[in-house]
Amino acid sequence: MKIALDWDGTVTRNHEFWREFVALAKKYGVDIRIVTLRYDRQIDDEMRSFDIPIICTNQLQKREHCRAIEWHADIWIDDSPEFIVDENIGEYLKVFKAP
């Protein structure tokens, strides 16, 4: 399982909760990564202290950026889900159309 975890507005609301969440995910072999709209130069020591990979999208839509680097999250945790989807949202909505 792969989990994309947003930083600003998500982890920043309760560092200790998310620190424990990350530890539990790692315990069970989950590939969990911080996926942020930030630029690489904006990574700080607090983010690094979580000791998981950090994907900076440089303000690009998150799903599209992750697709470009060939990392595909199964689960997205984000306070602003509109930053996850790409311009081809219709592709993802097909799943929910009634038969």
Residue 83 has pLDDT above 90, yes or no: no
pLDDT digits (tens, 9 = 90+) for 5-51: 999 999 999 999 999 999 999 999 999 999 999 999 999 999 999 99
Alpha-carbon torsion, ordered 69, 89, 12, 2, to 10 deg: -50
Q: What is the CATH number of domain 2-96?
A: 3.40.50
Q: Model pTM?
A: 0.85
